[in-house]
Amino acid sequence: MANASSGHRVVVTGLGVVTPLGQPFDHFWRHLLAGQCGIDRITLFDAAAYDCQIAGEVRNFDPIAAFPSSKELRRTDRFAQFGVAAAQQALVDSGLDLDRVDRDQIGVFIGSGIGGLRTTEEQHKILLAKGPSRVSPFMIPMLILNMASGIFSMYYKLRGPNVATCSACATSTHAIGEAWRTLRMGDAQVMFAGGAEATITSLGIAGFCAMRAMSTRNHQPHQASRPFDAERDGFVMGEGAGVLVLEELEHARARGARIYCEIVGYGNTADANHITAPAPEGEGAVRCMRMALRSAGLAPREVSYINAHGTSTQQGDLCETQAIKTVFGDHARKLAISSTKGATGHMLGAAGAVEMAVCAKAIQTDTVPPTINYQHPDPQCDLDYVPNTARQLHVEVALDNSFGFGGHNATIAARKFRG
């Protein structure tokens, strides 16, 4: 693991999101600070027979502007449409002129936890109804999870490093961390990094319902995702994408780029414990946050804000709280901690990148978003979760936590840019 004194410095210069609270990022940010919620009844399919009938859908999404033609759009699964659109937003937000840079030095790491589940379902129905000869020749390119990363690089002729991470709900945080490492090592000058997900489908919801992992507060969709609240009863599915432009500092300076923050550390650990449950007392998360702080050369007392994984599950929220207490000791009670999943639902492989974009904006503006629907304090989750109302706060250093099925943990550390 690199430390704070080695390698190139890396800054964030562009943000792009597609979320249940809207797009582009500034629109999403305003709704987030206002405490609004993007969760409602499912409309993408008939969910009447399902235990969970609510989700954070991306509504009024028109991806055509991000694609060269409607034909190309039809050959792309919904998750990749989200990813390409978010990456294009990040490109515009960064002010990067691709005609004035070396495209061999620009890479793309856009991952997905599940990939083209919608395509898989649709083509399986065609197989059963009409036979194998009617399955689309584009089925495989549409469903494989590397396609958001691949397609965006093709459209913009970005020939640098290109990888699609897949680590369940830690996917896009890992993508950002690995992009950071790539830039620090000098293997690229600019990286587009993040994740995309679109699993609000009949099979996707059925699978998570079968695990009894999801909220069944169908009569109160706006209040169903309630991270750290004593009455939380499971997560709510979200969909969308988040992509950040990460840039080597001197490259950003040379073009006069606006800088949101500097990424200074990255942690990446495994629980090695259980396929879905977190390690007891968040042991893997403890090691992950400590690794991020160590690689950044930061003391725990220097951290101002944590955007928590905070999915609204009983065990997950408790283990993350325990992990934060272990890492930060007495300072844990001085931290501002919020989970934005109350507003967006859990966007799975896209969640970490959207939440890292939130951290970047929080650092830039000294404003942290609330944990909405926090109404009943949990005696075991007793930290400052910024309940219900956004807060003005000097944010010098922020952490973004993401933890995924399979025991995958990822943490990014970022701080105010000091020239």
Q: Which residue among the candidates 8, 174, 251, 346 is catalytic per the annotation? A: 346
Is 219 an active-site residue? no
Q: How confident is the model at residue 419 (pLDDT cuts 50, 70, 90)?
A: confident
Q: Which residues contact 240 (CB under 8 A, 6 or more apart)?
A: 17, 18, 19, 20, 56, 58, 82, 86, 196, 197, 198, 344, 347, 350, 354
pLDDT at 307: 98
Tell me the per-residue pLDDT of 122-156, one tens digit each, with 9 for 90 and over: 999 999 999 999 999 999 999 999 999 999 999 99
Helix (H) or strand (E) holding 413: strand 408-415
C-alpha to C-alpha distance for 18 and 39, rounded to whole angstroms: 14
- Give the pLDDT confidence of 319-343 residue by residue, as tens digits: 999 999 999 999 999 999 999 999 9
Q: Residue 269 has what pLDDT?
A: 98
- Residue 202 CA from chain centroid, whole number: 23
Confidence at 3, pLDDT banded by 50, 70, 90: low
Average pLDDT, the chain: 96
Look up the pTM and report it: 0.97
At the topology level, CATH places domain 266-415 in Peroxisomal Thiolase; Chain A, domain 1 (3.40.47)
Q: Are strands 190-197 and 240-248 parallel, antiparallel or unpaired?
A: antiparallel
Is the model's pLDDT at 65 over the cut of 90? no
- pLDDT at 220 exceeding the cut of 80: yes
Q: How far apart are CA 71 and CA 104, in angstroms?
A: 28
**Hey, what are 295's tokens?**
């690689």
Tell me, yes or no, if 288 is annotated catalytic.
Answer: no
Q: CA-CA distance, 373 to 365, in Å (whole number)? A: 24
- Of these residues, 37, 52, 166, 169, which one is catalytic? 169
Q: Which two tokens stand for residue 105?
A: 């030095």
Determine the Cα–Cα distance for residues 18 and 336; give it in Å rounded to an integer.
25
Please confirm, yes or no, whether 169 is among the known catalytic residues: yes
What does the H/E/C string look like for 196-248?
A: EECCCCHHHHHHHHHCCCECCCCCCHHHCCCCCECCCCCECEECEEEEEEEEE
Q: What is the mean pLDDT of residues 69-95?
A: 96
pLDDT of 2 above 80: no
In the set 8, 31, 174, 309, the catalytic residue is 309
Check whether domain 11-254 has CATH 3.40.47.10, yes or no = yes
Establish how many alpha carbons lie within 13 A of residue 49's alpha carbon, considering only the half-sphere containing its beta carbon: 5
Residues of the chain with CATH 3.40.47.10: 11-254, 266-415
